[in-house]
Amino acid sequence: MFTPSRTGLALALALAYPLLALPVRAQTVAATDGGSTTAAPAPQRVEISSQRQRLDAARNGLSPDTGSSIYRFDQQDIAKLPMGADTPLNQVILQAPGVVQDSYGQLHVRGDHADLQYRIDGIVIPEAIGGFGQALETRFADQIQVLTGALPAQYGYRTAGVVDIHSKGANQQNGGQISLLGGSNGHREGSLELGGSVGALSYYMVGSAMHDDQGIENPTSSRHALHDETQQGNGFGYFSYVLTPETRVNLILGAANNRFQIPNVAGQTPDYSLAGHDNIDSATLDARQKERNHFGVLSLQSSLGQDVDYQVALFSRYTDVHYRPDEVGDLAFNGVAADVARSNRAAGLQADASWHLNATHTLRGGVFYQSEKGATRNDSLVFPADGDGNQTSDQPLSISDDAQLKGHTWGAYLQDQWQPVKALTVNYGLRFDQVRTVVDEQQLSPRVGLVYDIDAMTRVHAGYSRYFTPPPTEQIDQTSIQKFQGTTNALPSDANTAVRSERSNYYDIGLERQIDSHLTVGVDGYYRQVRHLQDEGQFGNALIYSAFNYSHARVYGLELSASYRDEAFSAYANVAFARALGKGLETGQFNFEQDEIDYINSNWVHLDHDQATTASAGASYQWANGLSTSADLLFGSGLRNGFANSSHLPSYTQVNLSAHRSFDLGTAVGPVDLRLSALNVFDRIYQIRDGSGIGVGAPQYAQRRTVLAGISKSF
C-alpha cells in the first residue's frame, strides 16, 4: 500500500487554496484573421511581468562570478536527463565536472568532503544535518548554477562548491502540472505543481510524495535489499509581491520529511550475548532513521535610483536526524544500541548591495549573521567490559549522553568589479568572518578573480581566494568519553580536541574556447593548500556523520569539458583528475585506533573521498516525430579503502537511458507527456564503499538496473 509522508503535497495544497480562490483576469480581444477570439494579457499584467524581469536581473547582478568556474543547468538541460525533473538534485549536480558520488547521496567537489553551499535566488539556505535524503528538489529549479574554484568575496563558509538555484515562480503562467512515476523496487512517486500570478502577486508551489523499497544503498550485491523501504515528502513554495516598480517582497518556504529503514544483512553471527535472546536472525532487525528539514526566507529587494540595488533577507531553518536502533539486534551484533537524535535550529540575516559607480566600477558589499542552537540526545544500551573490551556481563547498562551547543557566525565583505578595458574584468575584495561555537576563530580573507576575452571565441579566467570554513555545528561530536569507559562502546582514544575551522589558499585558472556556434571546450586547473582540513566520518553504528581535522592537506586537479548543441542534437562530456591528501590527525582522535593515528601523523594519506579519475557524459536527440531520446554515463576510478585509505575500490561505469514523448489523448484529456527511463541499464554491480577506510561504516553497493515509467499532465 502506498503510504508515504504527505507533508510535501499537504504544504502545496494548503498554500494553494487561498490563491486558487482568487479571480484570474485576462483581456479578450478579437482575432485579426476573422477567426475565434483569443485571450491576451491585460496591459497591467504585461507591465508587472516586465517589472519582475527587471527585478530578477537586478537580483542576479548582486552575485558576481568573476574568476570562478561555472557550470549551468537550465530547464532544457534538466529535461534531457533520463529522469527529467524527477532527477534527485544530487544526481543533477553529479553531471558537473569534478563532482564525485558517494554513498547516502553525498557529493564531493574537487577533493572536498561535502562542504557545499546551497542558495535559492541568491540567499544562503542553512545546511541540514547530513542524512540519506535530499533536503531540496530539482522540480522547483528554473536554473541551477554550480560555482567552484576561486570564488568572489561574497561567498563564504561552504566553498567547495556553491549550488545557486534560480527558482520557478517570478514569471510563471497560470496553471500547473501533475506527475506520476513508478517502476522497479516498488518505486511510486507523485508530484503537483501550481503557479501563476494575480496582479502584483506571483506564486509557485510544488509538493511531492515518494515510496521506494530501496531507500539507501544495499550493503550486499543482491538485486533487492532487506528492510530498506523509504517514505519521503517534500514541499516548496515561492511567493512574490511587487510593491513598486523597484521593490518587491519574496517569501520562500520549504520542507522535507524523510523516513528510512536501515538495511539488513542475512546470515550474520552475533558477537555479543544478550540475556534471554538466543539465535537472533540478522535478517529481521528493525533499525530506522527519520530526517526532517524545514526552512523559510522572507526578503525585501529594491533599488535606490538606477545605480544601487539591494536585497535583505531574514531566514530560519530547523533540521533533525533521529536514528532508532533495533535494541536487541544492535546489542547482539554491535555491543551498543544507541538511540541518537541530533537537531539544529538556525536563524539569521543576509544583506547584499551593489553600487554602479561608473562605467568601469561596480562596488558590492554585504553582511551575514547566523545564530544556531544544536542538541544531541544519545540514550545507549551497552555491556560492561574489561580493559581489553571483552564483554563481562550479558545484562546491558543504560547510559544517557546528552549535549547542547550554541553558535554564532557572522561575516562582511566588500569588493569592486573593475573593467579597465572591454576585454578584461577584474573582481577584487576582502571578507571578514568570525565563528563562535566550540571554538572562537576569525579570519580576514582576500579574493581576486579576473576574466579576459582573448578574442570573440576564447575566454580565460583566473583567481585566488583565501577561505575560512567553520566546523558544521550540526556535525560537531560532543561524545562524553568518560561515560563509556569500561563498556563495549568504549572509544579507542581519550583525546577529544575541539574541531577547528579550516583555512586554505585556493588557486584556479581555466580557459574556454567556442570552436563554432555549436561546440565549446574548456580546461580548468586548481590547487588548494590547506591548514586544519575538515573531514567527516561515520563513527559508531548510528549512521550519522561527525567532523574532525587533518593538520595539513593539499588538493589539486585538472578538469576537461566539452559541450555541443544544435536544434536536434546535444551532448556533453567532462573528465576530472584529482588528488586530495592529508597529514596529521588534529582533532577527533577518540574515533581512531592508535596505529591509524600514528600512521596518519607520519605520512601523507589519501582522503577517503579522493577519487583519481571521474567522468560524466551525456547525449540527447529530438526526432522528427517528437520523440526525445537521451543517455548519460558516469565513470569513477573508485573511492579509497583499506588501512588509512591506502588502497581504492575498483573502477565503475554506469549508463542510463530514457525516451520521452508527448501525446494528444483527445479533447477529454488533451496532451500528456510520457517518459521511460532505465538506470544502470547494463546492471553493473559495483561497490561505492566496502566498509573500510577512514570514517567509513558499512559496505554500500550502487543500485542495480532500475526501470521507471512516468506520466505528467499540464493544466
Give the β-pairing of 187-198 and 201-212: antiparallel
End-to-end CA distance of the chain: 28
The pLDDT of residue 16 is 37
According to DSSP, the residues that pair with 177 across neighbouring strands are: 193, 714
| Residue linked to cell 551497552 | 382
pLDDT band at 30 (very low <50, low <70, confident <90, very high): very low
9 vs 524, residue with greater confidence = 524
* Count of beta carbons in the 10 Å neighbourhood of residue 158: 20
pLDDT band at 13 (very low <50, low <70, confident <90, very high): very low
The pLDDT of residue 478 is 66
Q: What is the mean pLDDT of residues 373-388?
A: 91
Whether 614 has a pLDDT exceeding 80, the answer reads yes
The pLDDT of residue 538 is 67
Whether 710 has a pLDDT exceeding 70, the answer reads yes
Q: What is the mean pLDDT of residues 390-400?
A: 94
pLDDT digits (tens, 9 = 90+) for 210-251: 999 999 999 999 999 999 999 999 999 999 999 998 999 999
pLDDT digits (tens, 9 = 90+) for 486-497: 999 887 766 656
pLDDT digits (tens, 9 = 90+) for 621-648: 999 988 999 999 999 999 999 999 999 9
The pLDDT of residue 482 is 80
Is 562 in contact with 82 (CB distance < 8 Å)?
A: no
Whether 543 has a pLDDT exceeding 70, the answer reads no
Q: Distance (Å, rounded) from C-alpha 130 to C-alpha 636?
A: 23
The pLDDT of residue 693 is 87
The pLDDT of residue 25 is 30
Helix (H, G, I), strand (E, B) or coil at 15: helix
Whether 714 has a pLDDT exceeding 60, the answer reads yes
Q: How many CA atoms lie within 13 A of 46 on its CB side?
A: 5
- Residues 6+ positions from 561 with CB-CB distance below 8 Å: 71, 97, 521, 522, 523, 524, 572, 573, 574, 575
- Nearest CA to 525 among 559, 561, 576, 575? 559
Cell of residue 385, nine digits = 567490559
Whether 157 has a pLDDT exceeding 60, the answer reads yes
Is 322 in contact with 288 (CB distance < 8 Å)?
A: no
Q: What is the mean pLDDT of residues 287-308?
A: 93
Is 611 in contact with 599 (CB distance < 8 Å)?
A: no
Helix (H) or strand (E) holding 457: none
Please, what are the domains in the chain?
Answer: 57-167+237-257+279-714 (2.40.170.20)
Cell of residue 19, nine digits = 490563491
Whether 323 has a pLDDT exceeding 70, the answer reads yes
pLDDT band at 2 (very low <50, low <70, confident <90, very high): very low
The pLDDT of residue 409 is 94
Give the β-pairing of 652-664 and 647-648: unpaired
Give the β-pairing of 99-101 and 652-664: unpaired
Q: What is the mean pLDDT of residues 418-437?
A: 95
For residues 67, 71, 72, 76, the Cα torsion angle rounded to the nearest 10 degrees is 150
Q: What is the DSSP track for 509-562?
A: EEEEEE-SSSEEEEEEEEEEEEEEEEEEEE-SSS--EEEEEEEEEEEEEEEEEE
Whether 542 has a pLDDT exceeding 70, the answer reads no
The pLDDT of residue 39 is 39
pLDDT band at 171 (very low <50, low <70, confident <90, very high): low
- Using alpha carbons only, give the angle 151, 155, 158 rounded to the nearest 5 degrees: 100
Whether 318 has a pLDDT exceeding 50, the answer reads yes
Q: How many CA atoms lie within 13 A of 23 on its CB side?
A: 2
